[in-house]
Structure 1
Amino acid sequence: MFNFVLIFVFLLLGIVLQNVKRFPKNTYKILNRIVIYICLPALALYYIPKIKWSNDLLFPISVAWIGFIVSYLLFSLLGKKFGWSKKLIGCLIITAGLGNTSFLGFPIIQALYGEEGMKTAILVDQPGSFVVLSTLGILVATLFSSGSPNGFHIAKKILLFPPFITFILACVMNILGFDFHEYVEFVLQKIGSTMTPLAMLSVGLQLRFDRKSQHWKFLGLGLLYKLVITPAMFYLLYVVLLQQHTKSIQVAIMESAMAPMITACILASSHGLKPRLSSMMIGFGIPISFVTLLFWYFIVQFI
């Protein structure tokens, strides 16, 4: 519940600060950098060394990978058919392709499924959403924000992306069975906990409620994919086709139905991929998702 309140308080604060004349207009850019280059790496170093690996984890881990790849195929196809700009296509791929599996997902899953559900939720988020953001996300952001980047430029962008570097370090720590001292873990956790308020403040500073905005139809399309099509796709794949009927699958489907990922939207915005639309995907996606999540929770109870 605290996370929910935190989200709306800082979102509203950002909207209010837009109207304060002396408040620096580019503050959201600084906040974006803090979230991407400090908060996200701290979370990787805190969570990933603690994950216990096995083949049974492929179902929840695959949620983010499949969802993002389908998003890429869908919006690339639609963009080519209707002549959308590269920046619009890239924005929709990233913001609709990744879900808020941690800051919304964790408290919701913990409330509905307890600590056992959290084990699955962490798998969906860390080796799933987090890694997709740090690899495919930065790849798409680079490709669709630049004219014609070469392979070296793209590889350099990914390899020097701080969250990706810390992910590799965290994976090595996991393999070696090494974790930080509890004091270091405490610091990492506290740094990571600042991500939600800073990210939502950044979104609030960029959010505009313009009735004449050209982004409304694209907002609807992006949220339709993220909140309805994505969980429906995993229900058909996991439950109907693969005949999986476990609590872990319920959690995986619920995580796939979460609102757009805050950090993914910030990544798109920081690369100039339709910042207004990126902010709208979070600003409208989060409250709408509370309604759609109730629907999907009812559906998965029959698994």
Structure 2
Amino acid sequence: MINIIIIFAFLLLGIILQNIKKFPVLSTYKILNKIVITICLPAIVLYYIPKLTWSNDLLYPIGGAWIGFIVAFALFYFLGKKWRWSNKLIGCLILTAGLGNTSFLGYPIISALYGEQGLKMAILFDQPGTVVVLSTLGIFVATYFSKDNLKPIQMLIRVFKFPPFVFFIIACILNVFSIELNDGIQTVLKGFGSIMAPVALTSVGLQLRFESKSKHWRFLGLGLLYKLILTPTLIYILYVLILNQKSEMIKVVLMEAAMASNITVSILAASYGLKPRLASMMIGYGIPLSFITLIFWYFVGQFV
């Protein structure tokens, strides 16, 4: 419950700060974005990835995040080209609708509903799933759609300069060679990772605008429809109806797939100029709405 309170508290803090006269909103959220991208997310990757132990059973929770993102790419790329959307709009929707808030929002909800065993499944969905997708495909998407005429070599340079991706490679090397970081370093990494949500949420709040005549409403509706309804529907059809998988793990995967948009992805989209206003709206409107849709998916899961 405390995590849920923190979500709304720091979103509200950002909204309050943006309405204070002479407060440097633009420079502040840019600084907060940089902290998330260059410090917090790399720390999370380096803390968790080396600890993972591979098993074929991990494919279901891990696959949920990858499937949701890949289908989002295919769907919004197709719609964008058909309806002649800008590249920045396509990129924003792929990122914010393709990845969910599977840790800060997902962990406490899953823990409350399914206990410690369910939380372990949630971590698998989040770390080798959401975090790895964000650090690899996510940065490729952000780089590709940020400019219309970016050359392949320029894209590669950007990817390899992206701190979470660099630390993901380092973390994978540590995992393969079973190298453990000492306790002091792990404590520091965990500490940096723990401040990600408050910092990111404050940044989102600074950028959030509740505009009745916003030009983004149509695209917000499409993004939320995919993230909150179509993604878990896709997982249900594939895992339950086609693969005939029925277990506690599948219930957790279904709930994680139904989480609202990922906060860090919103920061990534804003950092690359991919419709920052729409990205923040996906968080600001998506999180409260998800509490309603998650109730529906929880009851669907009872029949799994």
TM-score (normalised: structure 1): 0.98
Equivalent residue letter for 2:38: Y
Post-superposition, which runs of at least 4 consecutive aligned residues in structure 1 deviate over 3 A? none
* Counterpart secondary structure, 1:136: helix
- Deviations, residues 85-138 of structure 1 (Å, cap 9, x unaligned): 111111101100010111111111111111111221111111111111111111
Contact 2:87 2:148 in 1 (8 A): no
Report how far residue 157 of structure 1 moved: 1.4
Aligned to 1:39: 40
Equivalent residue letter for 1:290: F
Report how far residue 222 of structure 1 moved: 0.3
Aligned to 1:257: 258
Contact 2:96 2:282 in 1 (8 A): yes
Equivalent residue letter for 2:166: I
Equivalent residue letter for 2:202: L
- Deviations, residues 155-174 of structure 1 (Å, cap 9, x unaligned): 11112211011111112222
* Counterpart secondary structure, 1:184: helix
Structure-1 separation of matches of 2:180 and 2:294: 35
Aligned to 1:189: 190
Contact 2:143 2:159 in 1 (8 A): no
Equivalent residue letter for 2:151: N
Aligned to 1:173: 174
Structure-1 separation of matches of 2:20 and 2:212: 22
Structure-2 separation of matches of 1:103 and 1:230: 19
Aligned to 1:24: 24
Report how far residue 145 of structure 1 moved: 1.0
Equivalent residue letter for 1:4: I
- Deviations, residues 178-213 of structure 1 (Å, cap 9, x unaligned): 222222222211111100110000000000011010
Q: Map 1:199-214 onto structure 2 (within 5 A).
A: 199-214=200-215
User: Once the two structures are aligned, what percentage of the paired residues are identical?
Assistant: 63
Aligned to 2:151: 150
5+ residue gaps, structure 1: none
Aligned to 1:52: 53
Equivalent residue letter for 1:115: E
- Deviations, residues 44-79 of structure 1 (Å, cap 9, x unaligned): 111112212111111111111111111011111111
Structure-1 separation of matches of 2:54 and 2:272: 34
TM-score (normalised: structure 2): 0.97
- Deviations, residues 249-289 of structure 1 (Å, cap 9, x unaligned): 11111110000000111111111111100000000000100
5+ residue gaps, structure 2: none
Structure-1 separation of matches of 2:177 and 2:252: 29
Paired positions, count: 303
Equivalent residue letter for 2:5: V
Equivalent residue letter for 1:176: F
Aligned to 1:10: 10
1:83 aligns with 2:103: no
Contact 2:258 2:294 in 1 (8 A): yes
Equivalent residue letter for 1:146: K
Which stretch has the larger CA shift, 199-208 or 117-126?
117-126
Aligned to 2:71: 70
Aligned to 1:293: 294
Structure-1 separation of matches of 2:302 and 2:190: 33
Equivalent residue letter for 2:263: I
1:93 aligns with 2:98: no
Structure-1 separation of matches of 2:167 and 2:245: 33
Structure-2 separation of matches of 1:237 and 1:280: 29
Structure-2 separation of matches of 1:39 and 1:140: 21
Report how far residue 22 of structure 1 moved: 2.5
Structure-2 separation of matches of 1:116 and 1:177: 24
Equivalent residue letter for 1:9: A
Which stretch has the larger CA shift, 15-24 or 287-296?
15-24
Structure-1 separation of matches of 2:134 and 2:54: 20
